[in-house]
Amino acid sequence: MELRDMKVFIDAGHGGSDSGTTSLDGTTLEKNINLYVANKLQSILSSWSVQTNMTRTGDTLVDYTQVAGISNTWGSDIFVSIHCNAGGGAGGTETYTTRSYSAYDNDLANRIQSRLVTTFGSPDRGVKRTDWSVLVGNNAFCCLTELLFMDVATDIAKLRDSAKLDSAAMAIANALDSFVFANFHNIPA
């Protein structure tokens, strides 16, 4: 089995009336960064013949409590939610999975975390556990990544750099590919 045999659901966090967090100067909104990276990731995966779906492709708000159900109804194999963080002091990258995570969820989160830390050259805040609604009840292998911090000067500079965001999308795509190869390459499609 290869990545192109999997269905990947991409969640661009926030949107519409919910901007998420903002940069300290108020000019950069989390929802826009999340959508940019999600759209770029979708484009990369589609070019690799991977079947994808997204919670949003424009500036709309999807009820967070419905996201896991939407993912399940579509039959997602892998679910990735993309966000940015705030309130982190020194900044950095962190990735979350559910408190009741499987070994696969943990592996997926660690692969994405490692590649994003390398791509951004950011402090590694690690993989953490949570009960956020987009993850809980999601039948797919799932994680939520917090790319960088919107309120840390070195992080926001990277989040405003489209080349860095393109590289982040590629890092996530490569992590997904690595995850599937490491765990499922001996399983027929």
d(CA 177, CA 120): 19
pLDDT by residue (tens digit) across 49-108? 999 999 999 999 999 999 999 999 999 999 999 999 999 789 999 999 998 889 999 999
**173, two tokens:** 């795509």
Tell me the average pLDDT across 27-51: 98
Mean pLDDT for 27-55 is: 98
Could you tell me where the beta strands, DSSP code E, fall in 33-182?
51-54, 78-85, 93-98, 124-130, 141-149
- Percentage of residues in the chain with pLDDT exceeding 70? 100
CA terminus-to-terminus distance, the chain: 5
DSSP bridge partners of 85: 149
Query: Could you give all domains of the chain from N- to C-terminal order, each with its CATH number?
Result: 3-184 (3.40.630.40)
**DSSP tag of 12:** E
Query: pLDDT category, 187, cuts 50, 70, 90?
Result: confident
Contact 19, 84 (CB under 8 A): no
Catalytic residues: 146
